[in-house]
Amino acid sequence: MPDLEALKRQAAVRAAALVTDGMRVGLGTGSTAKYAIEELGRRLADGELKGIVGVATSEASDALARQVGIQVEPLDPRPLDLAIDGADEIDPGLNLIKGLGGALLREKLTEVQARQLVIIADHTKLVTQLGEKAPLPVEIARFGFLSTIERLRALGLGGRLRQPGAQPYLTDNGNYIFDAAIPAGTQPATLERTLKGTLGVIDTGFFLGMATRAFVAAPDGVQELSPQT
Ligand SMILES: O=C[C@H](O)[C@H](O)[C@H](O)COP(=O)(O)O
């Protein structure tokens, strides 16, 4: 059993090395992005890097970034030089499913403004077709959520409301998440358009055509991937 944590860290260190002095950097969320934030903190502390500004994609990443000495600012309309984030699934075109950590909306809002979106992951995240292994997280409004879920089921989606305990999971934005099972053969772009036009849906975990490169770590080394069309 390979040490997945070590692999995640290797990918994260490669991406963090792309950050140079003065950059505005989108800081992703999750167990892999955490290593990138820590590495940026280390580089600042060691004097390898100066004057970067982080824009965090979750309350958790905001807190970690501040803890490791990164100056954090809220998202504003200026472009970001780079964003670094993990993913739940990565297809050969570097289209992604994200949001198993619940941060998909802030991640998409932030990363759409990045000149480069660099994805970091271990090799278990690679798939040939999105939805192969992971559900598609769909952020939905709390108000009327049962009606929204009916609308999602009417689209042919399986899955369930994310509910780890007695109460549904609540995002940083105060919304719920429906983890949708995607029928085999679904075209992500078509489903994305349909979902974005569905009342009660706020956003989805599809990140299509956004990633510019990926560092994917496997036991035999870190592979650098570019989108294949
Ligand atoms: O909402 C969470 C994010 O989209 C994460 O980037 C994604 O879930 C991957 O997380 P991890 O690196 O923990 O597998």
**Residue 26 CA to its chain's centroid (Å):** 11
- 229: in domain: no
Which ipTM did the prediction report?
0.98
Residue whose CB lies within 8 A of the most ligand 1 atoms, among 4, 5, 7, 29, for a mutation test: 29
164 and 75 co-located in one domain: no
9 and 24 co-located in one domain: yes
Residue 151 neighbours by CB distance under 10 Å:
16
Write the CATH number for 149: 3.30.70.260
46 and 158 co-located in one domain: no
212 and 194 co-located in one domain: no
CA-125 nearest atom, ligand 1 = 14
**How many domains does the chain fold into?**
2
198 is in an annotated binding site: no
Distance 104 CA to ligand 1 centre (A): 9
- 225: in domain: no
Distance 154 CA to ligand 1 centre (A): 28
Q: By residue range, what is the domain housing residue 170?
A: 136-201
* Closest protein CA for atom 7 of ligand 1: 87
Whether residue 135 contacts residue 158, with contact meaning beta carbons closer than 8 Å, is answered with no
| Residues forming the active site | 107
8 and 107 co-located in one domain: yes
Residues touching ligand 1 (Cβ under 6 Å) are: 28-33, 85-88, 98-104, 107
Whether residue 94 contacts residue 188, with contact meaning beta carbons closer than 8 Å, is answered with no
Whether residue 102 contacts residue 171, with contact meaning beta carbons closer than 8 Å, is answered with yes
141 and 90 co-located in one domain: no
29 is in an annotated binding site: yes
16 and 100 co-located in one domain: yes
How far, in Å, CA of 222 to CA of 84, rounded? 16
Burial grade of 220 (CB within 10 A; 0-12, 13-18, 19 or more): exposed
Distance 20 CA to ligand 1 centre (A): 24
CA-85 nearest atom, ligand 1 = 6
How far, in Å, CA of 29 to CA of 114, rounded? 15
Q: What is the pTM for the complete model shown?
A: 0.97
Determine the residue type at 224.
E
- 150: in domain: yes
168 and 110 co-located in one domain: no
- 152: in domain: yes
Residue 2: the pLDDT is 58
From first to last of its 229 residues, the chain has per-residue pLDDT tens of 459 999 999 999 999 999 999 999 999 999 999 999 999 999 999 999 999 999 999 999 999 999 999 999 999 999 999 999 999 999 999 999 999 999 999 999 999 999 999 999 999 999 999 999 999 999 999 999 999 999 999 999 999 999 999 999 999 999 999 999 999 899 999 999 999 999 999 999 999 999 999 999 999 999 999 998 5
110 and 161 co-located in one domain: no
Residue whose CB lies within 8 A of the most ligand 1 atoms, among 58, 90, 94, 98, for a mutation test: 98
109 and 147 co-located in one domain: no
- 47: in domain: yes
41 and 118 co-located in one domain: yes
Distance 121 CA to ligand 1 centre (A): 9
88 is in an annotated binding site: yes
- 81: in domain: yes
Q: Give one word for 68, left, alpha or beta, with left for phi > 0 and alpha for psi -120 to 50.
A: alpha
64 and 153 co-located in one domain: no
Residue 228: the pLDDT is 81
Residue 1: the pLDDT is 45
- 32: in domain: yes
Give buried/exposed letters for 168-189 (b at 16+ CB in 10 A, else e).
beebbeebbbbbbebeeebebe
Where is 1: in which H helix or E strand? Answer: none
Estimate the crossing angle of helix 4-16 against helix 33-45, to 10 degrees. Answer: 50
- 227: in domain: no
Written as six digits, the tokens of 120 are 């970091």
